[in-house]
Amino acid sequence: MTEKLDRRKQYTRMVLKNSLITLLKAKPLATITVKELCSHADINRSTFYTHYKDQYDLLNKIEEEIIADMNMYLSEHNFSEKEESIQTTQKLLEYIVSKHDICYTLLIENKDTSFEERVMEVARRFLIDNWMDEFDYDSGDSTYISTFIVSGSIHVIKHWLSRDMDKTPQQIAEIINMICYRGLDEGIMD
């Protein structure tokens, strides 16, 4: 009986998450009501409130799950050598491809930047920390440099998503890594 309840809870949460993502494609979170969300999911409001406080809590839980999943995925493929950093970037991009619909919605269509900030922290942890160790930067400067690199990389990823991923993850990883290692002047202006 417990397994049946767990399945029901999982199903309810899945339907609510899918409904929120669908509604976010059409309008901002601030205009989505719990009533509308429940109607779309065909779930009554009391059931919704047994799982989430409100639509913001639901979005937060979705983001937390994606970030935890992303961290786990990248931990399995974490490369530390400079030559392998492109592979880590590519793995991050492949993860985004595997979750295209939800990542596109949360990064591009949702105007709330909390998910973007969380992805930036993941990128900083898996990509930048390894890169920054290889260069002799003042520790105060490294924070600014890593913020610039991560922010730019996230916007490259958003641009790539908005162009229907017109390049492969490997091509985008090469672009990001080229800019990070060689800079604009050396990499593009040659």
Q: Tens place of pLDDT for every residue, the chain, 190 residues?
A: 566 668 888 999 999 999 999 999 999 999 999 999 999 999 999 999 999 999 999 999 999 999 999 888 888 765 555 556 778 888 889 999 999 999 999 998 877 788 899 988 888 877 665 555 555 555 667 778 778 888 888 999 999 999 999 999 999 999 988 887 776 555 444 4
The correct answer on CATH 1.10.3720.10 for the domain covering 2-52 is no
- Cα torsion at 8, 13, 14, 19 (round to 10°)? 130
Alpha-carbon gap, residue 21 to 67, rounded angstroms? 16
Domain pair 2-52 / 61-187, same fold: no
pTM for the model: 0.80
Rounded Cα–Cα distance for residues 173 and 190 (Å): 19
CATH architecture for the domain at 61-187: Orthogonal Bundle (1.10)
Range list of H helices, the chain: 2-24, 34-41, 45-51, 55-76, 85-98, 100-104, 114-123, 129-134, 139-162, 169-187
Q: Which residue ranges make up each domain of the chain?
A: 2-52, 61-187
Residues in the chain, total: 190
Handedness of CA 161, 166, 170, 172 (dihedral sign): negative
